[in-house]
Amino acid sequence: MINDPSERQPASSSLWGLDWLNFLMADVQNGLGPYLAVFLKGTQNWSAGDIGIAMAVSNIAGAASQIPAGMLVDALSIKRSLVAAAALVTVAGCLIIAFHPELAWVVGAQLAIGAAAAVLPPALAALCLGLVGHQRMPAQLGRNQAFSHAGAFSASILIGAGSRLFGYSWIFYLLCGFAAGMVGAVFSIRAGDIDHNLARGGNGDQPRTGHNTPISLRDVLSYRNLLVFLGAVILFHFGNAAMLPMAGQVLARTHPGTDTLALSACVIVAQLVMTAIALTVGRALGAGYGRKAIFLVMLAVLPVRGVLFALFTTNPWAVVAIQILDGVAAGIFSVVSIIIAGDLMWGTGRFNLAQGLVALSVGIGAGLSNLTSGFVVQWLGYPSGFLYLAMIAFGGLVFSTAFMPETRPAPLKRADLPLTPDARCT
């Protein structure tokens, strides 16, 4: 078995399989996503509170499954089968929603979709690392992101145009097609090209970290700066996650027939902006800009978006324009969250665990966002719901300004950096 990442030469068919897996997974991972709210409101006339419950349970199930899913991916060498199984479970859940749109069935399906969604990101990251190794991982991750955004962009166009022509059922058929494609793509990756030792982070060449074995979970959770960062992540997604589904509900009520088209346009705009912002943030970090400053820009964008939604959500084109801000925030988060987690965990051997904790925090925040905002809307109306989320986001900005450290490493050789959390922050 080859352990030197620079020596790994997977077959071109395996790398193409990985590319297409990223392209297709962007649309299968979260099931119906924000389109669920449109479907339930536009065709089933669900109340906002029940829609909030349906949206929240998937987030909660995903959050609860993050750490077990990561451990499962680490422990098993059947990673391709895990990806295929998660894709098929997701599609099965979506079909249950299509044929049984009652609360109990939808909640059960959303629980399964949330648990399956937790398996896909670590499994995909493990396949990537096991194929290309550590040295080529950053370049491959950039390629993965490009295919992922292209997939989300393409699916949004297909959903928007197809739903306009064929109705809401088109979304379910499209998801089935993408899931079938995922199964084909993952099994086009040759099993012999995957180094499962590398795939779980074992490379045997990390004496510079100062640890032969990872630190314990208890020690990780004792890092104050990490806990502050995770709290900021929760507040960001608490304020963010329910905004687009709520906008979709408003459009379904005020502009029936154009809701899925406008929602798809929102996703397309956000994806295009997200790609440009992610590249810009990467260059800014390379130029020496502080992590905290960029993170605060992300948080500052969100209250503005909430206020604008409260004022202009009944205009489909205004909703699409406001989604530019979502692309800015999400583009920043996709890059800077990984960098900050890496800074905080440098030398501990627990970078992947930190990624799981970040994903768990995202799920907690998103679940709280959908659950609580649904009832605020039901009691006080949609404008109040958007302002409520804007207030949560502003609280996250104040919290992060006061308590989050700058995690950019001091200008020392990384091998010489102390291993205490405070010493890794300037």
Secondary element (H or E) of residue 342:
helix 316-345
- Judged against a pLDDT cut of 70, whether residue 337 lies above it is answered with yes
The confidence band for 31, taking pLDDT boundaries of 50, 70 and 90, is low
Among 8, 59, 381, 91, which Cα is nearest to 99's?
91
Instruction: Report yes or no on 154 lying in a domain.
Output: yes
| Residue 3 located in a structural domain | no
Same domain, 158 and 222: no
Q: Are residues 181 and 228 in the same domain?
A: no
Lowest average pLDDT, out of 38-52, 149-163, 190-204, 293-307, goes to 190-204
Does the structure show a pLDDT above 90 at 187? yes
If asked whether residues 244 and 389 sit together in one domain, one would say yes
Of 162 and 243, the structure prediction assigns the larger pLDDT to 243
Q: What CATH number did the domain enclosing 397 receive?
A: 1.20.1250.20
2 lies in a domain? no
Torsion of CA 73, 79, 81, 82, to 10 degrees: 30
What does the pLDDT read at residue 1?
40
Asked if pLDDT for residue 386 goes beyond 60, the answer is: yes
139 pLDDT above the threshold of 60: no
Q: Out of 200, 225, 253, pick the residue that ends a domain.
A: 200
| Residues 187, 334 share a domain | no
Q: Are residues 227 and 178 in the same domain?
A: no
For residue 209, the model assigns a pLDDT of 35
Report DSSP letters for 89-106, one per residue: HHHHHHHHHHH--SHHHH
Binned at pLDDT 50, 70 and 90, residue 413 comes out as: very low
Residue 211 in this model has a pLDDT that exceeds 80: no
Number of structural domains, the chain?
2
Residue 108 lies in a domain: yes
For residues 345 and 255, state if they share a domain. Answer: yes
pLDDT value at position 4? 45
Domain termination residue (choose one: 200, 233, 254): 200
pLDDT in tens, 113-123: 888 888 887 78
Which residue has 């050789």 as its token pair? Answer: 413
- Please give the structure tokens belonging to residue 334: 């996709």
Selection from 59-68, 82-91, 277-286 with the highest mean pLDDT? 82-91
Q: Per mean pLDDT, which range of 217-231, 318-332, 409-423 is the poorest?
A: 409-423
CA distance 212 to 173: 49
Residue 294 has pLDDT above 60, yes or no: yes
Q: Is residue 170 part of a domain?
A: yes
* Residue 357: per-residue pLDDT: 83
Same domain? 236 vs 345: yes
Q: Which domain holds residue 373?
A: 214-410+418-426
Q: Are residues 283 and 187 in the same domain?
A: no
Judge if 189 and 308 occupy the same domain: no
Is 397 part of any domain? Answer: yes
36 and 163 fall within a common domain: yes
Domain boundary among 134, 165, 200: 200
Same domain, 297 and 362: yes
| Better pLDDT: 227 or 220 | 227
- What per-residue confidence (pLDDT) applies to 152? 76
Task: Establish if 5 belongs to a structural domain.
Answer: no
In the predicted structure, residue 273 carries a pLDDT above the cut 90: no
Same domain? 50 vs 187: yes
CA-to-CA separations, 128 to 5, 20, 23, 81, 217, in angstroms, rounded: 12, 12, 14, 15, 25
Name every residue whose Cβ is closer than 8 Å to that of residue 406 and which is 6 or more positions away in sequence.
290, 291, 292, 425, 426
Confidence band, pLDDT 50/70/90 cuts, at residue 298: very high
**Which residues, 6 or more positions from 180, have their beta carbon under 8 angstroms from its beta carbon?**
none
Asked, for residue 1, whether it belongs to a domain, the answer is no
Q: Which of 1-5, 41-45, 319-323 has the lowest mean pLDDT?
A: 1-5
Most confident segment among 231-240, 317-326, 406-415: 231-240
pLDDT over 70 percentage in the chain: 80
The answer to whether residues 160 and 32 touch, using CB atoms and an 8 Å cutoff, is no
